[in-house]
Amino acid sequence: MNADTPPQRPSSVDVAPDAFIESQAFESAYGEPLEQTLDLETWGPGGDLAGLYERLEEEVRAAVRNEWTMRRTMRTKVLPRLRTRRAAPPGAGYYQASVSELERVHRALLFNGAVEACDGTSVMHDTLPATITQIGVCLVSYQGDQGSWAQRLYRRDLRNRSGDPFDDVMAVLDERLGSVVDGEERGQLNRLASRGIMAYAERAILAYKSSASWRIGHGNPVSVDLLTGLGSMQLLTSGMQVLWDLIVGHRKFLFVPSAPSDRFLVTIGHALHPLEFAVVDTAKQAMLTIVNGTAYGRTHRRQVEEFCDEVGEQLVRGVYRASSAAQPYLFYSHVDHVHEAALLAMADSVLQEHRGFPMLIDLADMICRTTFGNDIFTHAVQAAYVSAGAPYRFLPERQTRS
């Protein structure tokens, strides 16, 4: 393989699974054979709401009861062993935060402008003549808006390529004739434009535009999109550089995902009491798992593996619970500042007890959606089509529904 050959589309992103699902695995997960589920005679009438609610209550009650039993075992047997786990990072274990510690974080960091959070949003208008992608990113603190940045990308298949209109049209028809291949490439370019570039911009703004001592981001700092480049070597190399500068260079950062997929960490989190947090492991193994499932050229694979070895050991994963009404959340921070990061996450999250999620991230998201949201973007695009004399011709069917 050529050293500069770009990686194939990562198998962990929008790709059908390669492994077969055995019937026994389905039965073990859902409590009934797949053959029985496919038999419509076993299905109930759609109007039997009483039976539906009774089954729902029974299943949820049993699931919650089992989870509470597991929680007791986790607290007595598992949490005390986090500190001595194999390859546990410095400071591993579970801890109880005090109200006075949270008050100190409120006064010294959050409410005096020493913390800034960043979040982004992307919207896309995809039609035959043009695909328009808008990316917006906002940086905020509790002292006000610290800045917003926007990028708009315009993709048109029919451009003046050769100078001969007939040759250009035939070239576009040839591309669109292979609809499956063209669709895969188009989808990959759309993901690169909307997800990959936005993930890079959020982290670059935290690394280079923020002046706060502590910086908060949304999601996993080393996201799948940046670690694979979504097929783009430019995004891969630029992403690794900005992550290095933020994680290794700045160090005082906190990232909190909204919907973590790591059920191991979530299970540990559900065993925590309010204002407790656990420092569990480094992100190195999770990063290498993504890398091992992605095809790179030799040069880039070596660079990515070295990046995972050096950065992964310094990036720590933990979980915290801010209130009894909310679920636990994962967090990422530098190993040297993990305890302060956990206190910062809880201090910001207790400000909204029902969610238990950092309010500064929600503030950045709200400002971003208000400034760069889908409604404003869609109205602007529709106005442009009206001005071009084609108000309805290229709009998707759903947008013309009454």
Sign of the CA dihedral running 341, 343, 349, 351: negative
User: What integer pLDDT is reported at residue 17 of this predicted model?
Assistant: 46
Residues 264 and 310 in one domain: yes
User: What integer pLDDT is reported at residue 288 of this predicted model?
Assistant: 95
User: What integer pLDDT is reported at residue 184 of this predicted model?
Assistant: 60
Q: Round to whole Å and give the CA distance between 316 and 295.
A: 26
| Residue 399 included in any domain | no
Residues 96 and 63 in one domain: no
Residues 77 and 219 in one domain: no
Please state the domain count of the chain.
Answer: 2
- The residues with which 281 forms a beta bridge, in sequence order, are 317
User: What integer pLDDT is reported at residue 43 of this predicted model?
Assistant: 86
| Residue 76 included in any domain | yes
| Residue 202 included in any domain | yes
Q: Give, rounded to a whole angstrom, the gap between the first and last alpha carbons of the chain.
A: 53
Give the residues of the chain that fall short of pLDDT 70. 1-19, 47, 128, 156-165, 167-187, 396, 399, 402
**Which pair of structure tokens corresponds to residue 239?**
């992403």
Residues 181 and 286 in one domain: yes
| Residue 250 included in any domain | yes
88 burial class (0-12, 13-18, 19+ CB within 10 angstroms)?
middle
Say if strands 315-321 and 276-282 run parallel, antiparallel, or are unpaired: antiparallel
User: What integer pLDDT is reported at residue 60 of this predicted model?
Assistant: 81
User: What integer pLDDT is reported at residue 146 of this predicted model?
Assistant: 78
Residues 76 and 180 in one domain: no
- The residues with which 115 forms a beta bridge, in sequence order, are 214
| Residue 327 included in any domain | yes
Residues 270 and 306 in one domain: yes
**Which pair of structure tokens corresponds to residue 395?**
């709009």
| Residue 282 included in any domain | yes
User: What integer pLDDT is reported at residue 374 of this predicted model?
Assistant: 75
| Residue 190 included in any domain | yes
Residues 93 and 80 in one domain: no
Residues 144 and 53 in one domain: no
User: What integer pLDDT is reported at residue 13 of this predicted model?
Assistant: 42
The beta-carbon contacts of 242-246 under 8 Å, at least 24 apart in sequence, are 242/200, 242/203, 242/204, 242/207, 242/208, 243/203, 243/307, 243/311, 244/307, 244/311, 245/207, 245/208, 246/203, 246/206, 246/207, 246/215, 246/221
- Domain of 65, in residue numbers: 36-84
User: What integer pLDDT is reported at residue 389 of this predicted model?
Assistant: 82
Residues 73 and 134 in one domain: no
User: What integer pLDDT is reported at residue 160 of this predicted model?
Assistant: 52
Residues 371 and 250 in one domain: yes
Residues 92 and 43 in one domain: no
8 Å CB contact between 319 and 257: no
Q: Using one digit for the tens of pLDDT, what is the confidence trace for 130-175?
A: 788 899 999 999 998 779 999 988 876 655 555 666 766 666 666 6
CB count within 10 Å of CB 66 equals 10
| Residue 158 included in any domain | yes
